[in-house]
Amino acid sequence: MINRNQLLTLLIVFAIIGTAPFLITRESTLNTVILILYVALLGQAWNILGGYGGQFSFGHAAFFGTGAYSVAVLQLQYGINPWIGLFIGGLLAMGVALFIGFASFRYGLRGSYFALVTLAFAEVLRILSNSVSFTGGGVGILIPLSRDPANMQFANNVGYFWLIWALCLACFLTVWWLGRSRFGAWLQAVRDNEDAARALGVDVFATKMKAAALSGFFSGLAGVFYAQFYLYLDPAIAYGSAVSIESLLVPIIGGMGTLFGPLIGAAVTHLLAETTRHFVGDVPGIALAIYGLLLILVVMFLPRGLISIFGRIGGLFGSRRAADA
């Protein structure tokens, strides 16, 4: 019952977001909405493995960067259309996730150790992409401009809006499914108590691997979107720590292991950054410093994220059942 309501809420929320291109005429405002959706996708991808699976990755850039580089390199070197590159990018990112997952989960890496090993893998990929020639090395890679929807390049922001809207919706629907499926229940059981889950017959390794695959796939799609939107990549953008940090920041601030947490986190962090920029001016550092502060405050005072505030407000208006249960 709750899940059906959740699906309805999800569809309504996305329908409302879908009115943005009709209501918003200013290019820069629509841009903000696009970036919020893009960050929500990054965060939701992390949320699958980190929030639902309890495996804290500090290196999601490994998947993001692989998706981004795939679509760019396939276009430039092999002339493969980015719409096909989108899926190849996602699948290659999934492959990287499976590789890292296989290496780590096989040896039972947990908690902080898993965080460190993912971070190291992203660093290795950054160093490699800096040194090999087909990624353009340190100079980076520039996707030639050809504004045609057939090339996944759009004349204005509206096209990009629908692209990221659709990718985001696909990811959120997947996570909605995760919340009600047997697999999702296994995954959350592994998160809450791995040994108990194993004792009950859950295949812990396979469950974690599947979560890593899904998480890597959507993170790769976010990378593809980034490449097509900005048409430029270099090793620090693709595999640098900024993407890894943004991926985990957003769902943690919004609410880990919840369907809407990443969306709330993306909107709050982005609007906060925009507001600061409005008052302080475009100075380097301030926006990120605020993200850091927000992260500490949330971990200290709202361990279940900003979304738990909504729960509390909801509790004030009527049904006490949630509090009693």
Partner 1 sequence: MVDPVILIPSLINGLTTGALYALVALGLTLIYGVLHIINFAHGALLMLALFGVFFLNQIFGIDPYWALLIVPPAMFVIGYGLQRGIIGKASHGRDENILLVTLGLSIIIENMSLYFFRSDTRTVDTPYSFEVVEFAGAFLPLPKVIAFFGALITAGLLWAFMSKTDLGRAIRALAKERKGARLVGINVDHVFAMSFGIGIGCLGVAACLLMPSYYVNPQVGYGFVLIAFTTVVLGGMGSFVGAMIGGLIIGVVEAMGGLFLGDSLGQFGIFAIFILILLFRPTGLLGHKA
* Spatial separation of the C-alpha atoms in residues 176 and 170, rounded to whole Å: 10
Site track 68-107 with partner 1 (rule: CB under 8 A), x = hit: -----------------------------------xx--x
Binding-site size, partner 1 (CB under 8 A): 40
CA–CA dist 93, 240 (Å, integer): 16
- How far apart are alpha carbons 119 and 292 in whole angstroms? 18
**Residue 272 touching partner 1 (CB under 8 A):** no
Question: Residue 165 has which token pair?
Answer: 């809207």
Toward partner 1, which CB reaches closer, 232 or 291?
A: 291
**Is 119 near partner 1 (CB under 8 A)?**
yes
| 204-230 vs 182-192: helix crossing angle, rounded to 10 | 100
* Residue placing its CB nearer to partner 1 in the complex, 157 or 244: 244
Minimum CB–partner distance for residue 84 and partner 1 (Å):
32
Q: Which 187-216 residues touch partner 1, going by CB under 8 A?
A: none
Among 6, 286, 302, 310, indicate the residue that binds partner 1 (CB under 8 A). Answer: 286
* DSSP type of residue 232: E
- Neighbour-count burial of 89, counting CB atoms closer than 10 A to its CB (0-12 exposed, 13-18 middle, 19+ buried): buried
From 8, 12, 124, 170, residue interacting with partner 1 (rule: CB under 8 A): 124
Tell me which H or E stretch contains 141: strand 141-142
Which stretches of the chain are DSSP H helices?
2-18, 20-23, 27-47, 61-78, 82-106, 111-131, 157-180, 182-192, 194-199, 204-230, 235-239, 241-254, 261-280, 286-301, 307-316, 321-324
Q: Is the CA virtual torsion 74, 75, 81, 86 positive or negative?
A: positive
Of 283 and 313, the one with the shorter C-beta distance to partner 1 is 283
Query: From the list 12, 81, 113, 271, which residue makes contact with partner 1 (rule: CB under 8 A)?
Result: 113
Using the rule CB under 8 A, which residue among 2, 16, 300, 323 binds partner 1? 300
Q: Which stretch binds partner 1 (CB under 8 A): 72-80, 122-130, 264-272, 304-312?
A: 122-130
Q: How far apart are CA 183 and CA 52, in angstroms?
A: 11
The answer to whether 121 contacts partner 1 (rule: CB under 8 A) is yes
Contacting range for partner 1; rule: CB under 8 A; set: 68-76, 86-94, 240-248, 308-316:
240-248
In the bound state with partner 1, the residue whose beta carbon lies nearer, of 104 and 228, is 104
Task: Compute the half-sphere exposure of residue 172: CA atoms within 13 Å on the CB side of its CA.
Answer: 27
Q: Which residues of the shown chain bind partner 1 in the complex (CB under 8 A)?
A: 56, 58, 103-104, 107, 109, 111-113, 115-117, 119-121, 123-124, 127-128, 130-131, 138, 241, 245, 248, 252, 283-286, 288-289, 291-293, 295-296, 299-300, 303
